[in-house]
Structure 1
């Protein structure tokens, strides 16, 4: 940042202007500010309410300014005021600019442009060899705006949002990104050539020129560094640093299912792993590493100890990663390691990863960081630039560095635009209630400090990390396991890959991806002492499931997001609907600029949320490129989100806005007067009229109905129940409301009579059809054959002799987009064999222990899939919990039904599966321990009890509320 901060190119769009006014002797700063606002804006001093204050350092000076934001109660606008107590002056942003100009006035160029470490190194020439070479990072004054505007002019066919287009596939995003990169490279070429001439004239050499930013590394004699600083083309310069990995020691590890299913795999998204060594294209990552490069020439792999690059990559892609369909781009420095690898080697690796002719990565992960407390501004600025100008998301580990005395986050994690990831320790248990912030052993809970009080920190009061992710004992590819934010970072990079695969425009809008992931981090964990602090955790623990839920453009039930560009004087307004007591998290993010003479935030945006009852929740920090709030909605109705400008320079600013909405574990009950009415109530609560299909099964016995749930849910319809010879009134009423396009009866005429089929015809325009087999096994196979094509991801096989296991498997089968088939306990029926031979599934899950499905049947199943796995517990409750734990991560809801009878659970299968939610079983008056443990592990925002209080008592609801509810 340093001297570049003086280049303020605009005046506040909303703020305080005018010359600094005098402050009266001993007058409190807030009173002086109110009086100043009344004089410059108009009105009474009491019209302005102090809403935020802090002390602001003046660079290159020991002086400070009091900085504050005031709310104008008449207009709702926010105004910024600075107060210089020493000089007795109060004014707007220009006071800070004037004080910074004053501090820099008269300083030699080296002191004005260089960091403390370089100045110290140059001064060391007085007691060491003066001709010793100093490695220096140099940032040049190059503005690429005109070059990018020329690219925009060449593509009038695209819809441009500010300076980035809206695209609908990754190829289009990459093509535009390549054009912008090439244009920027052309703009930098002449500046690099002049730098080479200047450096050689000073007796130095060019060590490396970046292909992504106006950054070069040069080697100069100490005596000529000050001459280099005096050149007008040099904006900043700093001493080159070394780097280290962000990990602890290897040890026992556990593996987690981060995604909660097989959806959103990040297919085709290219994620770069920037490391000392290359990622091995073997084992779990075989075929996933599509490009590799070493800055030293030959590829280099880890020999001995933990294979850190492969461990990191395994958290992103392959069978162990968050985004198994993503592609790994391996960028290495060519060897070396901690304390040896230098800035230029890391930048060269990252350059190749970002280069459209090299790795062409959509996301760049850096699980490494500089191993000095202050970090290099040039390297930090580089990562800011490849995000803002390069248009790709950079994700970095917060670090576990214990050598600085303050446990600081360092570059590149300190960069504004980087998504910095801290660590969570799950304490070796499935539940969230004991999760806490992860710390490197021996840090005593002081890790992840932002050092907001440090003189070298230009970011003032903004918080890092942005989010957190699991960091304690994590196994990824090829059985590699260890602890550290090194693995937390790629978990979040994998989430970003999921999002970009589904919304390709995000490949050009990293600020929006940051906002979505930060808003989706709905779960918060305490520090070991129990307190909560955003400086240590960020907005919360990242969630793949919730981030994906926010991809809806506009407002939806779980939240949504908005991408745009804001111009000077514009207030962004977004209305969302909320329910009283619902939790809401809102995040707005934008970028810091690093081009030309700009190395700072061009905008200070404030976030205000106006609730339905008129109350306001705000986030109004200084020197930050995101704001976030979370709150419990005080009233049902519309809530208004406003993004206002406290300071705005330039013409426009890209932003991402995202919000999540969730409930707090409060159970709801869906019930009717009998099993038929309950099934109708379940349908009514989840399906609108005009559904594609409705399945009708007998409510008298379970065998024919066991397999119908996944087929109904995946086709978009409910399961309704009937008597054998008479269609119940509750079912008639629901069919009248639904008006399904077609109706399918499951089971033969002895189960659902032809008379009932004839009665059903009145509720659909198409012919009512029947699916049936010679027995329960053949019926399940017939349902599968009518609903699923060959090559399904997976099939669930359960006993046909009892109902609980098959029903618990239903939502899981929907998650795998496959059927439930039935078997006898000791032999595999021919109908099931034939259907498995047709389906050719990728895997088979057996639901239930050997007493339900024998080991002999398990062995027979090996002939039909390359992978067969058993999910079982000691009883029906434990088995249902085992299915949930294996298949579902952190769902938005959980469905619970009695384990003593089948009808309610049968009706719940399609609605649970449609929301990627599990079905757990409870007793009439209690919750089995296995069910309680699984509920705590998932900590769902919403739980649904299916059935009346006569089936599942109110004491179950009370217990679950106490178990999951929170203030």
Structure 2
């Protein structure tokens, strides 16, 4: 059962009528100047300012959320101050002010009833000085295109298929909505009307076989039929077609865990400003950033990276600034305008200084965090993932050997691509039990007659099984050990035994499997686990039992030894392991 996703909210900005720069998505907030000012009790000047930034509002189409950072009054005037947010559709929201700081308290998100461009006006009156205003134009769409191509390479005898799971149009315009697929080889474009998420994966319109070697750009367009530019969305994919079917084995290995993550990101994502480059890399739309010092917060981040369309990067979260090379990579692939950097965990995991540094560059920063690892995973699920209908439970406690992360590593790509149509969140069990909030959340996903919950690993399965009435309402993947469990997840991932790419990472350390897992999620492939110096039989059997064009090894020879790397290559009849 796939969950519908939200539309992209395009924001344009204008200057306010009274002395304030209005902030668009990704830009820095601006404050008013040259305005009569109130004075605090100690006779110091306190500005009355107005600023508004608009972002998409979460899990609902046509929804806008106002960020009023930079809007404030003198704290001594906060009680009497008034604020109004006119959404431009005849509806208004009241803005209140914190009595201690004078900062504006943003109202709840606003839902529009139709697509269009709306002028949003913020008015602030402190009761002493003239009112100040800020405005912006919000262009909201009633459609969301979420397309995925089955492979980046193909032969002249093997078709590629397109998945539209997660795409959505509102009921009001569904009848006139049109989806068009241009396969890029001068054949007649495929088109169909209605809600694209209702097109079955087996529909021949979503499958195409190229007849000539070459590189093709496949373009998918979803138009709501209302004749508005803001209600047309597109996605493009590059496919290389060749009769050369040799398998590649590539290793991504940096000097540190951070460097390995950067190599993976550089392999996948184009420079900002380039939609698709000569290497077939596409521009990222967001970045998920987590600490490289500990595993808990990032375990739930792999599906988020796939959904947000960007890499998962690691930084030393204990420092006051981002690792310089990581910051350079963020700036290489992510434009500041309209781009979000998701930070996972509280400021004890990723410091406030890092957040301030990235925000200061003009990026929209959204921190997803809770009081502990379990609450952080819930925040990622509810806010970052938009509270999807499907959830996967994996163990997230530290474990006796600080390795309680293994099952969640294999679960990430599966949650991002297969379970629930590829829109599932990961939440964590504490060994074989739940904290109360996670238990309540999982319980709410258990529904008679359908399986919206899955568990990966024995401990997580025990935790789900302990919920009263859960019997028969969830699926599970449990192996004899972490390697067998990962192989079982891969088998569920690949019922036909085929994958364009498969990944292998050590099951004893977390960093390479997190950044590598996010990459595998983006290319629709499973992640297998191995011991550093011994290739488990479960992993070997999974590799030989899968038809693939590329095997990716994540981590250097301390993570996966040269011997194991060569053994993996031999299983697919490759003599040399190349560089990722």
Q: Tell me which of 785, 793, 799 is aligned to 2:382.
A: 785
Instruction: Please tell me whether the aligned partners of residues 455 and 464 of structure 2 are also in contact (alpha carbons under 8 angstroms).
Output: no
Alignment of 1:328-407 (within 5 A): none
Equivalent in the alignment of 1:909: 517
Q: Counterparts of 1:711 and 1:683 in 2: how far apart (Å)? A: 15
Count how many residue pairs are aligned between Structure 1 and Structure 2. Answer: 338
Equivalent in the alignment of 2:251: 669
- What TM-score does the superposition give when structure 1 sets the normalisation length? 0.32
What is the SS of the residue equivalent to 2:246? coil
Q: Counterparts of 1:963 and 1:743 in 2: how far apart (Å)? A: 39
Instruction: Please tell me whether the aligned partners of residues 707 and 821 of structure 1 are also in contact (alpha carbons under 8 angstroms).
Output: yes
Q: Counterparts of 1:880 and 1:920 in 2: how far apart (Å)? A: 6
Alignment of 1:861-872 (within 5 A): 861=467, 867-872=473-478
Alignment of 1:250-269 (within 5 A): none
What is the SS of the residue equivalent to 2:254? coil
Q: Counterparts of 1:755 and 1:270 in 2: how far apart (Å)? A: 47
Q: Counterparts of 1:775 and 1:715 in 2: how far apart (Å)? A: 23
Deviation at 1:669, TM superposition (A): 0.9
Deviation at 1:919, TM superposition (A): 0.6
Q: Tell me which of 813, 830, 836 is aligned to 2:436.
A: 830
Query: Unaligned stretches of 5+ in structure 2?
Result: 1-186, 220-239, 273-283, 399-403, 576-580
Query: Unaligned stretches of 5+ in structure 1?
Result: 1-164, 173-266, 272-497, 504-549, 562-581, 586-661
What is the SS of the residue equivalent to 2:288? strand
The structure number with the bigger radius of gyration is 1
* 1:798 equivalenced with 2:395 (yes/no): yes
Instruction: Please tell me whether the aligned partners of residues 395 and 407 of structure 2 are also in contact (alpha carbons under 8 angstroms).
Output: yes
Instruction: Please tell me whether the aligned partners of residues 705 and 746 of structure 1 are also in contact (alpha carbons under 8 angstroms).
Output: yes
Deviation at 1:909, TM superposition (A): 1.7
Q: Counterparts of 1:558 and 1:863 in 2: how far apart (Å)? A: 51
* 1:924 equivalenced with 2:532 (yes/no): yes
CA-atom RMSD, angstroms? Answer: 3.4
What is the SS of the residue equivalent to 1:895? strand
Q: By percentage of residues, which structure has more helix?
A: 1
Q: Counterparts of 1:560 and 1:167 in 2: how far apart (Å)? A: 10
Deviation at 1:965, TM superposition (A): 1.8
* Distance 1:554-1:923 versus aligned 2 partners, 3 A rule: same
Alignment of 1:806-955 (within 5 A): 806-815=408-417, 816-836=422-442, 843-844=451-452, 846-850=454-458, 853=459, 856-861=462-467, 867-889=473-495, 890-955=498-563
What is the SS of the residue equivalent to 2:258? helix
Equivalent in the alignment of 1:702: 295
Deviation at 1:777, TM superposition (A): 0.6
Q: Tell me which of 284, 296, 307 is aligned to 1:714.
A: 307
Equivalent in the alignment of 2:61: none
Instruction: Please tell me whether the aligned partners of residues 925 and 956 of structure 1 are also in contact (alpha carbons under 8 angstroms).
Output: yes
* Distance 1:892-1:840 versus aligned 2 partners, 3 A rule: same
Q: Tell me which of 770, 774, 782 is aligned to 2:371.
A: 774
Equivalent in the alignment of 1:82: none
Instruction: Please tell me whether the aligned partners of residues 287 and 305 of structure 2 are also in contact (alpha carbons under 8 angstroms).
Output: yes
Deviation at 1:871, TM superposition (A): 0.5
Q: Counterparts of 1:749 and 1:933 in 2: how far apart (Å)? A: 42
Deviation at 1:896, TM superposition (A): 0.9
Equivalent in the alignment of 1:682: 264
What is the SS of the residue equivalent to 1:752? coil
Instruction: Please tell me whether the aligned partners of residues 922 and 931 of structure 1 are also in contact (alpha carbons under 8 angstroms).
Output: yes
Alignment of 1:266-665 (within 5 A): 498-502=202-206, 550=208, 584-585=242-243, 663-665=245-247
Q: Counterparts of 2:468 and 2:479 in 1: how far apart (Å)? A: 21
Q: Counterparts of 2:216 and 2:563 in 1: how far apart (Å)? A: 28
Q: By percentage of residues, which structure has more strand?
A: 2
Q: Counterparts of 1:952 and 1:887 in 2: how far apart (Å)? A: 23
- Deviation by residue 1:557-605 (Cα, 9 ceiling, x = unmatched): 69989xxxxxxxxxxxxxxxxxxxx9934xxxxxxxxxxxxxxxxxxxx
* Distance 1:828-1:730 versus aligned 2 partners, 3 A rule: same
Deviation at 1:865, TM superposition (A): 9.5
Deviation at 1:877, TM superposition (A): 1.0
Equivalent in the alignment of 1:315: none
- What TM-score does the superposition give when structure 2 sets the normalisation length? 0.53
What is the SS of the residue equivalent to 2:548? coil
Deviation at 1:857, TM superposition (A): 2.0
Q: Counterparts of 1:755 and 1:900 in 2: how far apart (Å)? A: 31
Equivalent in the alignment of 2:172: none
* Distance 1:845-1:956 versus aligned 2 partners, 3 A rule: farther
* Distance 1:966-1:906 versus aligned 2 partners, 3 A rule: closer
* Distance 1:703-1:270 versus aligned 2 partners, 3 A rule: closer
What is the SS of the residue equivalent to 2:559? coil
